[in-house]
Amino acid sequence: MASAASWSGRTVLDLGCGSGFHLPRFAATAGRVYGVEPHPALLRLAARRTRSLTNVSLLAGTAQAVPLPDASVDVVHARWAYFFGPGCEPGLRELARVVRRGGTAFVIDNDATRSTFGGWFRRGYPTIDPAAVERFWSAWGWTRVPLDVDWRFDSREDLEAVVRIEFTPEVAAAVLAEHEGTTVDYAVNLFWKRF
Ligand SMILES: C[S@@+](CC[C@H](N)C(=O)[O-])C[C@H]1O[C@@H](n2cnc3c(N)ncnc32)[C@H](O)[C@@H]1O
């Protein structure tokens, strides 16, 4: 992301910020950071996480109705949140409204075409067509950067607990029976667009 656009001194919007995990890192160099999140309990966790950071503001809202004025944001970050390809057009229209000319938006999502986790994802979500997702972003003028990351856990119990959050009991049991250890290779797509 940093090689595509700097957020130093800029206004950053983390859309669907969840418990705010990424907010402190943006806040370390950004001028102002907005975290927008629809779920009140997660918003409270994000507020608690960032209570000592004076340049962070938390707002209740969604990608389809961003509670910020037109042309008010330089960099948007949406990680595993709402922007999953076809169907997210209302959110894309909101990005075009809130991002300033010359600003950049980033979307991070699974690359289900490859990696161990990608194979698990295809089994867990067989109706999602990864090729259609890529075509969607390309048609809207976004650039794709394929990335390779890993899940790394301290214990097998932690890995299994997270797999059971991500998948149905049947799919979780099947993939765990086939996979040993405490790491999982995980392919990710970074999509980005300049406005
Ligand atoms: C998998 S979590 C990711 C959270 C955070 N981005 C992260 O990387 O830690 C997905 C988040 O998207 C939020 N979300 C769900 N629907 C949304 C919407 N319509 N607009 C914005 N965020 C949404 C959820 O509440 C949740 O916090």
How far does the centroid of ligand 1 lie from the alpha carbon of residue 180, in Å? 30
Tokens 């707002």 correspond to 59
Give the mutation target among 22, 23, 79 for probing the ligand 1 site: most ligand atoms within 8 A of CB.
79
The overall average pLDDT reported for the chain is: 97
Alpha-carbon distance of 142 to 134, in angstroms, equals 9
Q: What is the pLDDT of residue 194?
A: 98
Averaged pLDDT for residues 20-32: 98
Percent of the chain exceeding pLDDT 90 equals 100
Of ligand 1's listed atoms, the one at least distance from the Cα of 78 is 6
Q: What confidence score (pLDDT) does residue 154 get? A: 98
| Residue of minimum CA distance from atom 26 in ligand 1 | 18
pLDDT at 195: 96
Q: How confident is residue 82, by pLDDT bands cut at 50, 70 and 90?
A: very high
Protein residues with CB under 6 Å of any ligand 1 atom: 15-18, 21-22, 37-39, 42, 62-64, 79-82
Nearest to 58 by CA among 33, 76, 91: 33
Confidence of residue 42 (pLDDT cuts 50, 70, 90): very high
3-state secondary structure string across 115-137: CHHHHHHHHHCCCCCHHHHHHHH
Within 10 angstroms of residue 159's Cβ, the number of other Cβ atoms is: 19
Neighbours of 96 (CB within 10 A): 12
